[in-house]
Amino acid sequence: MRIVIAGGHGQIALRLERLLSAAGHEPAGLIRNPEQANDLRAAGAEPVVLDLESASVEMVAAVLQGADAAVFAAGAGPGSGTARKDTVDRAAAVLFADAAERAGVRRYLVVSSMGADATHKGDEVFDAYLRAKGAADDSVRAREGLDWTILRPGMLTNDAGTGLVRLGASTGRGPIPRDDVAAVLAELLETPATAGLTLEVISGSIPVSVAVKDMAGN
């Protein structure tokens, strides 16, 4: 499969690119900074320089043309203010979904956040982030042209992955290594019957492949 990943230099995205490449797929990652291209190549991914904050839907659709799946893993990141939570975490996610529909790419995965909710209250930057992610998720879920799956991880860590997770519509809060989030995303891409599901994931006791298969078609 050719899989285009928005936010291709992100910590989860780089891990996912390595997994996909090792499995024989062809990942491509969207990056804003051309200096990051070699990191993507080292992960086995094709770097594509494109800024989702300034690109048109036509430009993004051109990159997605012929892809088998799209993964939105971009984020404004720590240190960014309220404004970029909206332009990246919401608007760029909507643009990427618009472009996927235009390019005819049905399989669409979103890396969201536990607690994402468009109606979330609060004035802190993290509150704005949860609203932006929630609004983006709502936009994706309303689309009949996408076979979407939304993944909402718990607290992300850089601990080594265990390959053991708890995956479900509601898991309760908890940590999860980025390694294991990437592994779940890779498994979801191989499991189209998980389309239409919004799933939370934290560390647990069930192997990733089993956990995803258990969710398929639910």
* Residues with catalytic roles: 129
Rg (CA), the chain: 16
Burial class (CB in 10 A: 0-12, 13-18, 19+), 138: middle
Q: CA 194 to CA 109: how far, in whole Å?
A: 10
SS percent in the chain: helix, strand, coil, step 5: 40, 25, 35
CB-CB contact of 71 with 111 (8 Å): yes
**Dmax (CA) of the chain:** 45
Q: CA 161 to CA 159: how far, in whole Å?
A: 6
